[in-house]
Amino acid sequence: MTFNPDELRYVNYLWDDLVADQLDPVERLRYRSNLLGADQRITNTGGGNTSSKIRMTEPLSGTEVDVLWVKGSGGDLRTATRANFASLSMDKFLSLENIYNNADVKGVKTEIEDAMVDIYRHTTFGLNPAASSIDTPLHGLIPFRHVDHMHPISVIAIAASKDQERLTQEVFEEEVGWVPWQRPGFDLGLVMKEKLNQDPDLKGLVMGQHGLINWADEDKACYELTLTLVEKAARYVEQRDKGEQTFGGQKYKSLDEETRTEILVRLLPTLRGKVSQINKFIGTVHLTESVLEFVNSMDAQRLAEIGTSCPDHFLRTKIKPLYVDWDPQKESVETLLEKLEANLVKYRSDYASYYESCKRPNSPAMRDPNPTVILIPGLGLIAWGKNKSESRVTSEFYSLAIEVMRASEAISEYQGLPRQEAFDIEYWLLEEAKLKRMPPEKEMARNVVVVIGAGSGIGKAVAHRVAKEGAHVVCADLSEQTAQETAQELINIYGLGIGVAGTGISSCGPAIGLGVDITERESIHAMFEKVILAYGGVDNIIITAGIFVPPDKQGHIPDEKWALTYAINVTGPYLVADEAKKIWQAQGLQTSLVITTSANAAVAKQGSFAYDTSKAAANHLVRELAIELSPLVRVNGLAPATVVEGSSMFPRDRVISSLTKYNIAFDENESTESLREKLAVFYAQRTLTKSPITLADQAEMAYLLSSSKFSKTTGQIISVDGGLHEAFLR
Ligand SMILES: [Zn+2]
């Protein structure tokens, strides 16, 4: 039976014939996959796969053959394109059963089973480079034209319950069968095929501790069947919902938003430092009502200990989260920090004993034993990943696991995967091989880099430069709008990533844009609060913000302009460093600060009195901060000279003032860029290298000083001025 689309309450019916009928069969599969992947109740990010067996013409023989198009390894159904689907010749694929059966030792987790994954490549149809996933046989061995394998919350709730076989029968009657947990692979495909042989009327199977698979001979019918089965399970669960008694009822109360934010801002940098002792992590804070209901509940500790349900999950969430039993109403933040420290020590040692007791002779070495999901009553869920996208996925996965536990505990009793099975997924050699094939991480990966002045000029160039090295970039500027424009440019280049989670600013991508006035401590403080909530902490800071106030025709600078010059060029970087110091010390991670000074700091001349002396002060600020912030933070100065290209430091009136000073002919009607170019050419001729100095030159040095390539350099001023002998530092 299928539901009328209007009757569906727990899934959205999205299929549109007007769209689908315009598409070729492969694009129809892509379309179906995107629709299914768009609903987290149907499948999680990166989870599940879909397939269609399509008649196609073999290019050499010209004969018609069946081709299995199946979602390949990596990527995500929601955002999948045609390129994410592998294509296999069905006749070749089916012949693989002989290869498998002829192996001396076969079955789940045998050598031949893992070896099959590489053999799939020999069945590729049409030079398609997409790699097949381990789930391919689940699709290829089912003799129906369309197959959906999903990870729906409502069905996993059944699959993760103690009496899952009985529940499957009760919910789906004769329509859907059940297979016990088995690690996906060729053998599981054969198990399913056999199930279907015994009962040819089956429309699908609940896969124990894992998810759902179902099939049909028409793609739209397959889509509708998936929705129907998910809906049916969701209705069954809903009728048994425990309401206020969910998770044994509430043990703690949530905090009001202001208090919660205040505690999170205090807590996150410390926590990030503690979990980042081996690998640096980027954080995501997730605190929906449903997450809070779980972390505040009586059963949270017991259920957290059981671990997460779906095998997709714990590659990122680890087998279990770290739950900290803290009373948000009665206990202090200091107590929370103490409890966290003690719990972390225990978590790591639990992880090490899990590894020791489950490892096999050829297992990869133990991975980072720190938790990636931390649950705290009153505060919510904090997830950690190697980048923002990964931490959002981790957060999404555990919040889905909470929904699974809610449903499972409503209809039965939640159970986790046996530890050994979890281990065999987490340390699967195929998974290890995949990790080894990944390109090495970029220089600034896992770092949160705050660029102050990122709205234009050198700052904007720096933001682009560090993003290219894998940094998460906080683009900050006095103008919030230009800061956000730079951030958006970065997101357009590098993408938002996958994973649907994060509350408020924590749902951000690899870059954010923030307004800040560095002459105001409060404004700097507010900026860092947002950075902490967005990413969990702060690493490198690069300050390019600065001001040059041109004197009047007599060479005089009014007092308030003098004060403003110092406020922005000297006091500003000091205040930023002073505010960041608290965060850096809480984190305890090695990092760097770069302050932009100027070649003018070392050259006395007429007409730039306030600017030159302020930059000389900034040079010495670099040295003082290097001592003050050691050993955690390296502090260096970047001393550019006369970068005129696109610089807000060279507004039209400053350019005209300089051209006049140097007796360079110009026309008042010329465009600002053309005037700037005249000045740049003039300046280049005064340097030893005789070439104009660009934004990219400055950005390169700001990046290098922040990177590990300059890990032994601190308290120094590096000039990027084309070679000005009068500016040589002595
Ligand atoms: Zn799966």
Confidence of residue 430 (pLDDT cuts 50, 70, 90): confident
Q: In angstroms, what CA-CA distances link 298 with 247, 290, 322, 402?
A: 6, 14, 16, 14
Comparing 97-101, 382-386, 387-391, 429-433, the range with the smallest average pLDDT is: 429-433
Question: Does pLDDT of 434 surpass 90?
Answer: no
d(CA 146, CA 25): 11
More confident residue, 498 or 84: 84
Q: Which amino acid is at 127?
A: L
Question: Does pLDDT of 683 surpass 90?
Answer: no
pLDDT in tens, 393-429: 999 999 999 999 999 999 999 999 889 999 999 998 8
Give the start-end residues of each E strand in 282-351: 282-286, 322-323
Is-contact 598 614, C-beta < 8 A? no
Question: Does pLDDT of 156 surpass 60?
Answer: yes
- The one catalytic residue in 611, 662, 683, 703 is 611
pLDDT in tens, 636-666: 999 998 777 766 667 888 888 888 988 989 8
Rounded to the nearest whole angstrom, what is the distance from the C-alpha of residue 293 to the centroid of ligand 1? 27
d(CA 379, CA 559): 49
Residues with CB under 5 A from ligand 1 (ion): 211
Q: What pLDDT is attached to residue 1?
A: 55
Q: What pLDDT is attached to residue 271?
A: 98
Q: How many CA atoms lie within 13 A of 51 on its CB side?
A: 30
Is-contact 545 478, C-beta < 8 A? yes
More confident residue, 295 or 662: 295
Q: Which residues contact 116 (CB under 8 A, 6 or more apart)?
A: 96, 99, 100, 137, 185, 186
More confident residue, 428 or 478: 478
Comparing 191-200, 329-338, 425-434, 705-714, the range with the smallest average pLDDT is: 425-434
3-class DSSP state for residue 199?
Answer: coil
Question: Does pLDDT of 553 surpass 80?
Answer: no
Rounded to the nearest whole angstrom, what is the distance from the C-alpha of residue 151 to the centroid of ligand 1? 6
Query: Could you please report the per-residue DSSP string of 597-637?
Result: --GGGG---TT-HHHHHHHHHHHHHHHHHHHHHTTTEEEEE
Q: What pLDDT is attached to residue 437?
A: 83
Query: What DSSP character marks residue 124?
Result: B
Q: What pLDDT is attached to residue 104?
A: 93
pTM of the model: 0.93
Query: What DSSP character marks residue 584?
Result: H
Is the dihedral angle over the CA atoms 70, 75, 80, 86 positive or is it negative?
negative
Confidence of residue 692 (pLDDT cuts 50, 70, 90): confident
pLDDT in tens, 712-729: 999 999 999 999 998 988
Q: What pLDDT is attached to residue 45?
A: 86
Q: At what angle do helices 257-275 and 572-587 cross, to 10 degrees?
A: 70
Rounded to the nearest whole angstrom, what is the distance from the C-alpha of residue 72 to the centroid of ligand 1? 12
Rounded to the nearest whole angstrom, what is the distance from the C-alpha of residue 178 to the centroid of ligand 1? 15
Cis omega (within 30 of 0) on the bond before 692?
A: no
pLDDT in tens, 483-494: 999 999 999 999
Whether 611 sits among the annotated catalytic residues: the reply is yes
d(CA 84, CA 351): 34
pLDDT in tens, 38-48: 998 999 888 89
Is-contact 625 592, C-beta < 8 A? no
List, edge to edge, every strand of the sheet that includes 204-207: 85-89, 64-71, 49-57, 146-150, 211-216, 204-207, 176-179
Q: What pLDDT is attached to residue 2?
A: 66
Q: In angstroms, what CA-CA distances link 671 with 548, 652, 656?
A: 21, 9, 11
Confidence of residue 433 (pLDDT cuts 50, 70, 90): confident
Confidence of residue 151 (pLDDT cuts 50, 70, 90): very high
Rounded to the nearest whole angstrom, what is the distance from the C-alpha of residue 209 to the centroid of ligand 1? 10
pLDDT in tens, 5-16: 888 999 999 999
Mean pLDDT of 261-289: 97
Q: Retrieve residue 627's tokens.
A: 């001592």
Q: Which residues of 644-667 are buried (b: 16+ CB within 10 A; e: fewer)?
A: bbebbbbeeebbbbbbeeeeeeee
Question: Does pLDDT of 309 surpass 80?
Answer: no
Rounded to the nearest whole angstrom, what is the distance from the C-alpha of residue 44 to the centroid of ligand 1? 10
Question: Does pLDDT of 61 surpass 70?
Answer: yes
**Averaged pLDDT of the chain:** 94
Question: Does pLDDT of 686 surpass 60?
Answer: yes
Rounded to the nearest whole angstrom, what is the distance from the C-alpha of residue 187 to the centroid of ligand 1? 15
